[in-house]
Chain A
Amino acid sequence: MDLLQYLTVKNIDFLSKREDVIPYIRDASYFTGELPIAVVLPKNENEISEILTKCYEENIKVVARGGGTSLTGSSISLKGSVVISMLRLNRILEFSGGDRYVHVQAGVRIDDLNLYLQSKGFLYPPDPASSLASTVGGTISTNAGGLRGTYYGSTKEWILGLGIVLADGRIIRTGGKILKRSAGYDLTSLFVGAEGTLGIIFDAYLKIVPRIENFTRIMVFFRKAEDMGKAIYQIKERGLNPLSAEFTDKISMNIISRISGIPVPDGSEVLLIIDIPLLSGNEYEKFIQIIKNSNPTGIKSLNAEESEVVYKARKGLYSSLLNEREREGEYIIIGDVVVPSSEVPEALNETRDLIEKFGLKISLFGHIGDGNIHANVFTNINSNEEMKKAEKFLEEFGDIALRHNGSVSAEHGIGFEKKELLIREFIYKKSIVNMEIMKSIKKILDPKNILNPGKVFDL
């Protein structure tokens, strides 16, 4: 019995017509996948298990797909593969404010989850820019970050337990409702950031926190990125924690100024937007004192209305940059590196020199509170020459992060795009054996290499 007959007999919904599978060949990266044999729309983990059992038996590649928002090609379809769309698993199963967890299916979108939690006074902190569309399962699989990362950390900090279907169809559960446990290997962590190469996550226990409603947002302008980097480091060194700390270069700063109507002081090259939590009473003064001593060209404390407009402008910066595209075929390829806060000033200096050296149109912004820098490279993806130049830039941008004890990927994962950069990171850290360990784990959990093959690394 072939796969499609099997799915029919098992009464599992699937799509196989060309027009039905085309919508699944792309994600938010610049890669285009190939037509899959079928797209399966399971309603529960038992159906996923049946699909994987058959695919394992028949050696058919399987690509799990949530919101399809990957920026590195993690969720694009592969030739001859089966795509498992997780979107029908979109129920919030259980909530417990007292136990501080929410149990959700993998296809729940992050914004939908937080809309639900907001009504209960709680928050699931990871907030990638794609939160409108990205799903719980997808963001766990890429260990997504976001604006709140400096205060709350990235997704991995918030996963208490997972339900997973393994390559051969077996269903396992890791962790659970509890906030801590010390019972053998931490298998939950193994699947965070695995990009669907080790198993398919179908539900998750997520840690939640009460919302912090009382905070103030300020804009700080600087002449030098270095001064801004130093300010952030000093804030953290003195034991203060911004709820978020976002920086932009001049291109993006001007966009935010245009949208918000807030003027840029003369001589400013860099903008820092900080959310200061008002918990004990005098945080604001402490933050401001440090900032005033960091050579700012201007400080603007925002009222509620301005605060909202500036937040939306920041969250929509990538969108605004897209509208700055001037040529057909032009895309924005996003570099995504991270360095320790103490290294931010020097890493930014070196990045500025690198941009000058390459002469590319690039805008920088990022979640600077946790050292995450995004380089948005305007590139015509139809031009080999431009693509090579952009790739070379991103390689050297990654090298800057490595030289400053950072990583080539902060929150977007590896996918197709960063496989070489990942190897580069392990070599740089004189720990290429990490790759061997990863491959060994992959061989144990997916001996036939059917789960999202060719993503993260090549076997």
Chain B
Amino acid sequence: MNESLDIYVSRCINCGFCDAVCPTLEAADFRGYFGARGRVNLAKELIKNDIGEEEVLDSFNSCLHCNACLYVCPAGISAGEISEKLKLRSSKKDPLAKFIAENIMKYKDPLNIGKGSTLWSKGLKFNEQSEYLFYTARMYQLMPYNSAVAKMREKLGEGLLKKFSPTFSKLGFKGSLLKIFLEKEKVKEFNNILFNIYKVLAESGVELRYLGEEEPYSGAMLLEFGFEKEFTSYANWLVNFFKLKNIKKIVTIDPHTYTLLKYQIKDYVNFPFDVIFYLDLVNKKANFSGTVTIHQACHLERYGEKYRKYYDILSDVRIINPIHFNERTFCCGGPDEVLFPNLTNKISEKRFIELKSTEADYIITMCPICYINLKKDKKVIDISQFIAKF
């Protein structure tokens, strides 16, 4: 956005195209407040001070930032970007979001999972001298813990969870009730994906450096939840941290971290590192005689570039496209999992049905958030697992 928010918003002609592709609108039973056009209209009122921040906070917070709206907007504006700016401007924050933000600032980890982030790497070889930093940003590791938060919310109810959030923050994941809800099988599953990512890179001859317990989270959720000041401070810290470690090339393994470090972070700090998505380093072609369908990640399709290296890797495999693919790929709903789990459930269910109806042998994902939300069937497989297997 190169202009002031009020001018940017005023370019909207209210055609409704954004609503037609907004996943949260249908998931909220077509309540306009939870749709892209609703967000833009509420932004217009908020800018004029005709409505209070508190009344519109959920509308902006529920935006998935999937950028589907930007792709179809005739006036070239993004309801997602408007939501993000207004969240950043707002002084009102969700209590659970506050809990996560405090954790990130304090522990460099949204849920303070401690050693849980390094279990996957036991026994693997790394090269401290490698030019490539293998940067997990703890994303795959965090997914089972996110699910634990969602489960606890289900058991305790919204009110109690928010009430006890500050206590969890003090105790960290290990010392809190949250660990009761952690599924060990899920931890194993995600550690297996991390192992496979490592494996396909190793098989492609790439040696990697890994920071182990020292590896910090990227800070993405600070932006998603509207903590701009904190994010700026965190991003500065991250840059200095990488400089201290003498990092030059950062190999990201999930789309959210990739687009954050490659594009979004540059609005806040000078980020002088090469940012790579790990599939760029994979030189293997999958060999599978059956069929696959691909759930393309919003962040790889509609953020800054159309990232499609996986088509090369899968060029010998028969791909059956779902109804929504490429630029029109449909969000898994994952980004709403913490604050609006009901929306996430409905959106992921819709997307899963779309993918499953292709009747492909495998449903390939390439993002930990997409994976956990779409893993409703054995057919769902992370692309690293697929490449490693075939």
CB within 8 Å of B: which residues of A?
13, 15, 17-20, 22-28, 39, 41, 67-69, 85, 87-88, 109, 111, 115, 130, 132-133, 316, 318-319, 322-323, 325, 328-329, 331-332
Contacts and interface: CB of A to CB of B under 8 A. Distances in A.
Given A18-B55, A25-B41, A322-B13, 17 more contacts: A19-B55, A19-B56, A22-B42, A23-B37, A26-B41, A28-B15, A39-B32, A41-B30, A41-B31, A68-B37, A109-B20, A130-B15, A132-B17, A133-B15, A318-B74, A322-B75, A329-B10
Contacts of A332: 13
A74 to B, nearest CB: 13
Nearest to A110: B20
Contacts of B362: none
Interface string B10-32: 11011111011100011001111
B75 A19 contact: no
A328 B7 contact: yes
Contact of B20 (A19, A26, A111, A331): A111
25 contacts: A15-B31, A15-B33, A22-B42, A23-B32, A23-B33, A23-B38, A25-B41, A26-B14, A27-B14, A27-B16, A28-B13, A28-B16, A41-B30, A41-B31, A67-B19, A68-B14, A69-B15, A130-B15, A132-B72, A133-B15, A133-B19, A318-B74, A319-B76, A322-B11, A323-B76
A319 B75 contact: yes
A22 B37 contact: no
B385 interface: no
A321 to B, nearest CB: 9
A85 B11 contact: no
Contact of A133 (B7, B16, B76): B16
Contacts of B180: none
A85 B17 contact: no
A323 to B, nearest CB: 6
B29 A41 contact: yes
A24 B45 CA distance: 13
Contacts of A130: 15-17
B20 A22 contact: no
A293 to B, nearest CB: 37
B51 interface: yes
Nearest to B32: A23
Interface in B45-77: 45, 51, 55-56, 59, 72-76
Interface of B: 7, 10-11, 13-17, 19-21, 25-26, 29-33, 35, 37-38, 41-42, 45, 51, 55-56, 59, 72-76, 323
Nearest to A109: B20
Nearest to A321: B74
B55 A28 contact: no
Contact of A325 (B11, B16, B21, B59): B11
Given A68-B37, A322-B74, A20 B31 contact: yes
B357 to A, nearest CB: 10
A353 B33 CA distance: 46
Nearest to A323: B76
Contacts of A132: 17, 20-21, 72
A319 B35 CA distance: 21
A329 B6 CA distance: 11
A28 B30 contact: no
Given A22-B51, A322-B11, A88 B45 contact: no
Contacts of B20: 67, 109, 111, 132-133
Contacts of B30: 41, 85, 87-88
A328 B76 CA distance: 15
Contacts of B33: 15, 19-20, 23
Contacts of B25: 87
A25 B37 CA distance: 11
Given A15-B33, A85-B32, A325-B11, A69 B16 contact: yes
Given A15-B33, A132-B20, A22 B45 contact: yes
Contact of B51 (A19, A24, A88): A19
A331 B13 contact: yes
Which of B17, B32, B72: most chain A Cβ within 10 A? B32
Contacts of B19: 67-68, 133
A69 B33 CA distance: 17
B32 A20 contact: yes
Contacts of B29: 13, 41, 88
By Cβ-Cβ distance, the 9 closest A-B pairs, closest first, are: A319-B74, A23-B32, A23-B38, A87-B30, A133-B20, A133-B16, A19-B55, A28-B15, A26-B14
Contacts of A26: 14, 41
B32 A28 contact: no
Contacts of B35: 23
B238 to A, nearest CB: 36
Contacts of A27: 14, 16
Contacts of A68: 14, 16, 19, 37
Contacts of B32: 15, 20, 23-24, 39, 85
Contact of B16 (A13, A67, A328, A329): A67
Nearest to B324: A115
A17 B35 CA distance: 16
Contact of A323 (B17, B59, B75): B75
Nearest to A24: B32
B329 to A, nearest CB: 15
A378 to B, nearest CB: 13
Contacts of B73: 319
Contact of A19 (B15, B21, B26, B59): B59
A22 B42 CA distance: 7
A133 B41 contact: no
B88 to A, nearest CB: 20
Nearest to A138: B16
Contacts of B74: 316, 318-319, 322
Given A15-B31, A23-B42, A85-B30, A115 B323 contact: yes
A22 B72 contact: no
Nearest to B38: A23
A17 B75 CA distance: 29
Contacts of A318: 74
Contacts of A20: 31-33
A328 B29 CA distance: 35
Contacts of B45: 22
A111 B66 CA distance: 20
Nearest to A319: B74
Which of B15, B25, B30, B56: most chain A Cβ within 10 A? B15
Contact of B17 (A18, A22, A39, A133): A133
B29 to A, nearest CB: 6
Contacts of A115: 323
Contacts of A19: 33, 42, 51, 55-56, 59
